[in-house]
Structures are given as structure tokens and as C-alpha cells.
Amino acid sequence: MDTSDLDRAAGEYAAVLSEAAEADLATPVGDRTVGDLTDQLTARASALGAALGAGQPPLDGAAPLDAYGGGFERPFRRAVRRLASAAAGASPDEAARAEIAALVRAVDDGAIAVSRALGLG
């Protein structure tokens, strides 16, 4: 399965989130916070990856945080990489394809919302 849209959307979201400091995670984005939105997107990607046969994720916090950013995008990036790898190695059915497409839209929307909330765009 082609995951280029997922890779693009995830890269944009992670780029915005990489600018966040720890205090920014509490910034409101609609009816939740930046941290909550990121956790929800990470959980969705992890669940989809697991459904497609992705292996267990590595321990979070295994690497030190970035010197300038918080590194808060790392678990999200790892979850998306596992999902993309599982999707590439499997033949997802239409329901899984639809769920991945919905995740891409949610990540795109999230990148725009977080960028605005943090005053980056």
C-alpha cells in the first residue's frame, strides 16, 4: 500500500510539534490540548499498525530530548513509521484503507490547528 500521504502528513505534524516546549502541550486546540491531540493521533496510528501486524513499539523516552525542542513528536513519528511499515508489508482491506485515509485527514487538520494554536502559522 502506498503510504506517501501518511508520510507527508505525519512529517508536517511532527515538524510543527517539534517546535513545542513542554508548556505548549497544555495549549488548547479545540476541545482538547496539544498534548491530548498528539496522544490521540499516536494511539490511532499505533492501533492501526497493530491491526495490520506491526510489532511492539520501542520504549518511549529511550533517547534524550532535543536541545531546543521537546522531542514530543518522537512517539508520534515512531507510531506512524510502524503503521507505514505494516501497511507496506500487508494487503490492507478497504476498511483499513479508509481508516488510514481518515487518520491522514486528522493529522493534516491537527497540523494546521496546532500550528495556529502555537502561533507558528
Please tell me the predicted confidence (pLDDT) of residue 67: 45
Domain count, the chain: 1
Residue 14 confidence (pLDDT)? 95
45 within 8 A of 76, measured Cβ to Cβ: yes
Task: Compute the average pLDDT of residues 103-114.
Answer: 98
Q: So what's the pLDDT on residue 91?
A: 80
**Confidence band, pLDDT 50/70/90 cuts, at residue 2:** confident
Q: What is the mean pLDDT of residues 17-35?
A: 94
State the pTM of this model: 0.87
Which residue range(s) make up the domain with 80?
Answer: 4-117
- Other CB atoms closer than 10 Å to residue 82's CB: what's the count? 22
Average pLDDT value for residue range 64-75: 66
